[in-house]
Structures are given as structure tokens and as C-alpha cells.
Chain A
Amino acid sequence: MSLQNRITHIIKDPHLSAKQKSHYLALEAENSLDYVEVSAQALAAKQAGIICDMFEGHAPFKPRYVLPDYARYLSQGSDYLEMSPAQDFDDALNALMVLYHHVPSVTNIPVYLGQLDTLLMPFVSDMNEDAIYRKLTRFWILLDRTLPDAFMHVNIGPTDNIICRTLLRIDAELQQIAPNLTFMYDPLITPDDLLLQATNNICLCNKPHIANYPMHANSFDERGFGIVSCYNALPLAGGANTLVRLNLKQVAMQSSNITDFFERVLPYYCQLTYELIEARSAFLHQQSHFFDSFLVKEQLIEESRFSPMFGIYGMAEAVNILRGISNDSHSTPKTYGHHQEANALGLNISQALDQIVTTTPVTYGFNQRALLHSQSGISLDIDVTPGVRIPNGFEPDPISHIQALAQHHQYYPAGISDILSLDETIKANPQAMMQLCKGALSMGFREFTANVANTELMRVTGYMVKRSDLEKFSQCGSRTNTTGLAAEAAANTGMMQRKARVIAHEQAPICYE
């Protein structure tokens, strides 16, 4: 399609809102420019789908993810935005909402809304529970209706406080797609009944996602970190300048055997991934003038705290290909996720990637390094499984699932999203959900994400959509930006058939494989 045709297509689309059209039009404009300069080999690998820039655009003029230091902003105000320091709770909510509209990201909607309980607790003073509840409910609705993107992420925990508890209550009541929510869990700080409230919420609406706070905190520095978008962990007051991901399935297909994979093909494509990372971040940092913005001048972000994310996906297929097992038979006992040798090979691949990423310097990176990330997939992925996940519908029982993947988590400081699918019977037993969560985290999970089948809110790749929206979308479009992506993802990735696996013994004791 010619550029004019594509633009006409967007403009005349019956389902997109005016705002959504503007966004796609801007992307078309950016992509009509030449791509940032890279070698013929890198370009070829990109065109062949071996490395992928996540369709971020040809000429990056904003970082992929930005995590402003909202605490600093609330205490100092902003010259640029003509905001004085927040004095009370209403001030703080208002000030946050103002800044959210000035935080760019790859989707144009902020992906990080802050550690909201820590941010708001200083303003609670003598407000009673009911007042807090009413104010936060309005705020939650405002976020969902004005910034309708499920990639937008709020963090709470690990401490027990009234904001944290109230937000969990509201999130369960409203069952909105946005914002996405991460609850930080620290076994030394978080009381069990607070974790239980969070895991109860998962039974009700598949949110929040539970992060292993001490493990994440160890990967960053004292200034802190945040969880944003599809479970990316990044330095606070920084972010990700770009995300380039490597398709391990394709890498395996280019390899003649396991040794060839480790010694020749993987290092080669990692090098090309780095080339793309360097070219994209050089353009952003040197030519786009993004880092002249007020966010930098007012010290809400620092250029040196932005890292490229080195993403990987298709681990399952890569392992099966290298072991000579067809990917059509994901369910056989020999495949990734099921067989010990397959799992061990997967782990070796994660170790090799970790070795490369922690020793390869980058020009623009937090501690001059990229951050390894197990990428949770995009809607266009066909026949390739997100990150290091076990393919949809072929996961073993939740415990074997946790055991198979726990060791990988240590190697992915920028986040590794895996989804445990659980049958609805778990709704009657939130204690079981809590134990699964605690157990997974203590066995090395960096984050715990569960999906309870047949709940109205469901998780796609890494964000939430409403089941009813998904069904309606093809007819009439959706108010929420991400539903379009999700409809594509559902059609392409077999997500709707993700297998429900917790079966009542009395009801079907033998359905378990």
C-alpha cells in the first residue's frame, strides 16, 4: 500500500477514534523517513524477523518507557508546568494528573504512574477512610477514561498502608482495564493478610501482578525502580530508551546444532541486536533533543538512568528445534516445559544471554549496560511463544510450570512475564493462590502473574482486556487503545484456548494430564 493509501485508510477507518487516528498518522509520518543507519546485515536480520524493533518507529524521538521521579515533582512542584509543591491530598492527585499528560512513551500514554501509596501517604494526614476511598475511586475512573491504555502501570506495596489497601479494594470493585497494577511483595515487610487481599483480587479480576520486591531491588540502586507496561522493571528517574528483541526460534533455525547455536549463531545475532540498539539510542540521545526537556532540567529523569532493553522471545521453539523435536507437538513429554533436558537447555540459553548482556557495554545505558528482558509478545507473533514461556495450551500443571521456569528469572532484571493459567475453582480458595504466589517467589520468581479462566478481565500477552470487549471489538471498535491489539493477539496467538487446568477431583479427576 502506498503512503497515501495507508493514510487514507487510517483517516477513513470506521472504528478508530480521532485521537487514535492521530497516533497512527504520526507513526506513518515518522516511518516515511529513512530508518536509522545500520549495516546491511542488521537490516537483513530485521527484515527476516530475527531481530525486531517492536515497531517503535524509524526515527525515535522519545524513549520507549519513562519513569519520572514523581516524589521529587510533588515536593518541588514544576517551573515548566507552573505547579507549586503539593500541599494536600487533592493537590497531589491533581499534580500527578497534570504531569501524566507530559510523560511520553512509545504509546504516547504514560506507562508508569508511580509508586502511588508511597507518593500519597505523606498527604493522608487526618483524612478518614471513606474520604480516601471516594477520592481514589474518582481518580481511578479518571485514569481509565482519560488515559485508556492497559500498558499504563501503577505500583503499590510492599508496605501495609491505607492507600495500598484502598486501591486494592477499588481495583477489585471497578474491574477496569486501566491502570495495570503491580503489588510489590517483600516477605519481611508485607503482612500475610495484605498479600491475601492482593491474591483475592487476582481471583476476582486477574490483577494485580505480584513483584518480588527484594529481588528487583537488588537489581537496581538505592534510587529505586518501577514496574511499567508489560512487566518491565526499570530504574526510577530513568527508563528504557529502546527495546530491541531477538527471536530465539529464528536463531535456532539458523543453527546446524546446539554447539553452532551457542558458539556462532547466537553471538552473531546478539551483535546485530546491539547494533540496532546503538543506532536507535544514538538517534534518540543525540538528535531528537528529548533530553533537553523539562523532565531532565527539573531532575525528574536523568539521561544516565535510561537503558536499552535487550528482549528475547521464542525460547520454547528454540529449545525444541535444537533438540530436533517438532513444534507441532508441543504437548509431548519431550518438549520445553515438560522434559528435564529441554528445560536445562533453555536455562543454558538464558545463562548465555545473561553472560553476553552483562558484559557488553552500550553507549547509552544504566551502568553502560542493556538490561535483559523476557519479552511478553506482541499481537503479530504467530507460532512463536512470548519470552521464555511455555506455549499456550501446553503448560503443565501450575507447580511443574513454576518448577520448570523458576531458574530463568534470575537472568532477566528488566522483567520476565510468565502467566500461570488457573481454572475458576481457585476462586473459592484464595489461600491456594496465595501459597502458589509465595512459593513461586521464594523459588526465584521475579514476578507472579496469574490468569483465572473465565473471569471478565483477562490477560493478553501482558496487559488486561475485558472479555466482553474482545467479543464486541470486531463489530464496533473500542474506546481503549489496547483492545485492538488484544483482538489481534487473540486471533493470532491461540490465547483464547489457553488451557484451564485446575479441575475438581470429584468433577473430573482424570482430565489432568
Chain B
Amino acid sequence: MSKRPFVMSREAIVSQILPFSCVDGPGSRLVIFLQGCNYQCKNCHNPYTINVCDACGDCIAHCPQQALKHVKIGTKDHIVWDKNLCTQCDTCLSICPKQSSPKTTTYSIEQLVAIIDAQRHVINGITVSGGEASLQLPFVINLFKTIKSTAHLAHLSCMIDTNGSLSITGWHRLLPYLDGAMVDLKAWQQDTHRYITARDNHKVFQSITWLAAQQKLYEVRLLSIPTITDYDSEIDALANYLRQLPSTTQIKLNAFHHHGVEGVAVQWPACTQDDIELLASQLIQRSVNNITLPTIYLNEVK
């Protein structure tokens, strides 16, 4: 953990590192989840990764393990979280008025590269995810660049999992070091998208189109929420759009479930295997290929 002032291109606020994932891009991947998101999705499965902690200190006294401490670095306040004391009771999350989490760690490029290095034989690459990873773009560029310029790491593919809100200028800066992107298309219609995420989807379409043109669009993800998302009502337009994407792009269908969800979305119906298969068949009928279905349906696992 850093005690120096925070420098955006050299350090990142990380909510979690997953050493192994097989659902965040091709092959076996280390996934770095960055804290902070510019969307406010009602259906977010981990809402406390949306906002960055402002060190108000409200949660400290409530931690039963005394795992949280307040420190001052320079003039700035910070919350330090002791991973080894924490029992993951999540009291701090329920206390936080910002819907944030004190359980984050600041990593430098060097620290992350050391972690990646130690497991370079076991992975095909790394994925940065979130939150919204592109909000910490200078860091992501630096990290990818370091990997690509380190001889024994250069074979690792560098992917980003994104909500697609990054500007084309931003994508241009990342492009030289990027192997592929997984982009969420949360809804077809502007209104629906705004209802779910509180943001427009113009940028998302721009990102998808641009990434596709650069051969960097690995996957488009559709999270289906019955009665909420508009994939079925807009199926013709949607299919028409997806059909134009490169044949190398996967269309991944995900099923909404209630795990971790808060607020109004708790009342939304979960998406079943039947729902997903219906959506898949509608897309296939309209000649959308490369569809990937979920391997498990969490809402149906007892």
C-alpha cells in the first residue's frame, strides 16, 4: 500500500484482484477490478464499487475487527484497510453514506506487475474491469504498456472490460497496447439505457463501432432483464446492428439475477434459462452468430 501522494498514472484504486477467471476474455486471466464507475446501474451486482471513498471516516467505528484506520498522507485523508483483520462482514458497506467501500487497496504499477509476473505461466493474459476501468485510463495505459515492453510478459494479452463510455480520443491512447475489449450494451433504446444506467448510450455505440473497426472488439455483452431491457422488443434493430460486427466478436448473453442487487432492482424478475434461450434463438433466426450462453444460471442453482 502506498504512503506517497496518489499519482493517477502510477497508481490505481483496486477493489479486488482475481488471480484466475475464465469468464473475462480468452483463456485463463488475472482480473483487476478498479474502484469507481460513472454509471449508476440500478441492477449493479456490487453497488459499493461505484463510488470512490471520500474518507469521511463514518465506517471506522463500526468495524467490529478494528480493520479500518484513518491516516493523513500529506494534506489528504485516507482510510487504510487491514485485509488480514477483516472478516468480510460487510458492516462498513452498509454504513457508508456514499455507497462506497473502504475495502480497497492502492497499487502501483510495480506492485501489480510483480503479482502478474508471479503467475505469468498460468494465465493467457490480464483483464482490467470495474467499476469502470477506463475511469483510471492513465494507469491502465501505463500498466498495459509496461506489460507489453517487458520481454517475459509481452505474450500476455491485455483486455479491458468496459461500459463503453470512454471517448474515442481515450480509446486512441489505449489502442497501441490493447488486445481486446469486452463492452456492455445495456439497452438498445436511449430511454431504456438512461433508465437503467442514468447515462446515454451514444458513446457506447461509438465505442463498439470504433473498436470493431480496429479489430479490438472481443465481445459485446447483453445482460437480459425480463420486462426491463428492450432486447426483445427491439430485436430486429438489435440483430441488424450485431450482424454487422466482425465475425470474431462474440455476443455474450448474460442472465440477470439478484445476487448483491439493492433498491428497485430487487423487485425485477430474474432471467431464466428459458428467457436466455428464447433471446438466443431470436438472434440466431436473424443471422446473429457467435452467441455465447451462460454456463450456469445462478438464480436456478439451489
Bound Cα distance from A426 to B29, whole angstroms: 12
Top 9 nearest A-B pairs (CB, nearest first) are: A439-B122, A432-B22, A399-B19, A439-B121, A432-B28, A435-B28, A429-B22, A431-B27, A504-B23
Q: How far is the CA of A427 from the CA of B294 in the complex (A)?
A: 10
Whether B27 lies near A432 (C-beta < 8 A) is yes
Q: Mark A419-455, 1 if CB is under 8 A from B, else 0.
A: 0001111111101111110111011000000000000
Q: Which of B189-242 contact A (CB under 8 A)?
A: 221, 223
B295 touches A428 (CB 8 A): yes
CA distance A508 to B20 in the complex (A): 14
A428, B252: Cα distance in complex, Å = 12
CB <8 Å contact, B84 and A502:
no
Report the Cα distance A434→B27, complex, angstroms. Answer: 8
- In contact, A507 and B298 (Cβ under 8 angstroms): yes
Say yes or no for B1: interface residue by CB 8 A criterion. Answer: no
Query: Which chain B positions have C-beta within 8 A of A400?
Result: 19
Q: A504-B294, A504-B296, A510-B45 are in contact. Are A425 and B23 (CB under 8 A)?
A: yes
Q: A432-B22, A504-B23 are in contact. List 9 more A-B contacts (CB 8 A).
A: A399-B19, A424-B296, A429-B22, A429-B23, A432-B28, A439-B28, A439-B122, A504-B254, A507-B255
Question: Is the beta-carbon distance between A436 and B20 smaller than 8 angstroms?
Answer: yes
The residues of A with any CB-CB pair to B shorter than 8 Å are: 333, 397-400, 402-403, 422-429, 431-436, 438-440, 442-443, 502, 504-513
Point out the residue from B27, B255, B295 that lies within 8 Å of A425, measured CB to CB. Answer: B295
**What is the bound-complex CA distance between A502 and B18, given in angstroms?**
10
**Residues in chain B within 8 A of chain A (CB atoms):** 16, 18-24, 26-31, 33, 45-46, 83-84, 88, 118-119, 121-124, 129, 161, 221, 223, 254-255, 257, 259-260, 292, 294-296, 298
**Cβ of B152 to closest chain A Cβ, rounded Å:** 12
Question: Would A397 and B298 count as touching, CB distance under 8 A?
Answer: no
User: Which residues of the other chain, A, contact B292 by a CB distance below 8 angstroms?
Assistant: 428
B263 vs chain A, min Cβ distance (A): 17
**Of B19, B24, B31, B257, which is in contact with the most chain A CB atoms at under 10 Å from its CB?**
B19
**Chain A residues, CB < 8 A from B28:** 429, 431-433, 435-436, 439
CB nearest to A509 among chain B residues: B46
Query: Is A506 a contact of B45 with CB atoms below 8 Å?
Result: yes
Would you give the shortest CB distance from B184 to chain A, in whole angstroms?
A: 9
**Of the candidates B30, B83, B223, B295, which one forms a contact with A424 in the assembled complex, judged by CB atoms under 8 Å apart?**
B295
Main SS class of interface, B: loop
Contact at A505–B122, with CB atoms within 8 Å?
no
Using known A-B contacts A397-B19, A432-B124, A510-B46, determine if residue A505 contacts B119 with beta carbons closer than 8 Å.
no
Among A424, A436, A440, which residue has the most Cβ atoms of chain B within 10 A?
A: A436
Instruction: Please name all residues of chain A whose beta carbon is closer than 8 Å to the beta carbon of B119 when the two chains form the complex.
Output: 399, 403, 439
Q: Are B23 and A399 in contact (CB under 8 A)?
A: no
Q: Cβ of A398: which chain B residues have Cβ within 8 Å of it? A: 19-20
Nearest Cβ in chain A — how far from B100, in angstroms?
Answer: 14
Pair B296/A402 contact, Cβ less than 8 Å: no
Task: Tell me the bound Cα distance from A434 to B295 in angstroms.
Answer: 18
Collect the chain A residues with CB atoms within 8 Å of residue B21's CB: 502, 505
In contact, B296 and A443 (Cβ under 8 angstroms): no
A-B residue pairs in contact (CB < 8 Å), sample of 20: A398-B20, A399-B19, A399-B123, A424-B296, A425-B295, A426-B22, A428-B23, A431-B26, A436-B20, A436-B122, A439-B28, A506-B23, A506-B221, A507-B45, A507-B254, A507-B255, A507-B259, A508-B260, A508-B298, A512-B16
Q: With contacts A439-B122, A440-B122, A510-B260 known, is A502 near B254, CB below 8 A?
A: no
Residues of A contacting B221 in the complex (Cβ-Cβ under 8 angstroms): 506
The distance in angstroms between the C-alpha atoms of A3 and B129, with both chains bound, is 65
B45 touching A442, Cβ below 8 Å: no
Taking CB atoms, residues of chain B closer than 8 Å to A425 are 22-23, 295-296
Query: Taking the nearest CB of chain B, how far is it from the CB of A196, in angstroms?
Result: 11
- The chain A residue sitting closest to B24, CB to CB, is A505
Residue pair A439, B295 in contact (C-beta under 8 Å): no
Residue of B nearest to A511 (CB): B259
| CB-CB nearest in chain A for B127 | A505
| A507 near B296: Cβ-Cβ < 8 Å | yes
Measured CB to CB, the nearest residue on chain B to A442 is B121
Question: Smallest CB-CB separation from A512: which chain B residue?
Answer: B18
B103 to chain A, nearest CB (A): 10
A511 contact set on B, CB distance < 8 A:
259
Contact of A435 (CB < 8 Å), options: B33, B124, B260: B124
Q: In the bound complex, what is the Cα–Cα distance between A359 and B294 (angstroms)?
A: 54
Contact check, B123 vs A439: say whether CB atoms are below 8 A apart.
yes
Interface pair A507/B257, CB less than 8 Å apart: yes
State the CA gap A439–B125 with chains docked (Å).
12
Cβ contacts under 8 Å, A438 to chain B: 121
- Chain A residues with Cβ below 8 Å from B123 are 399, 435, 439
B88 with A435: CB separation less than 8 A = no
A507 to chain B: which residues have CB within 8 Å? 45, 254-255, 257, 259, 294, 296, 298
Complex Cα distance, B19 from A439, in Å, reads 13
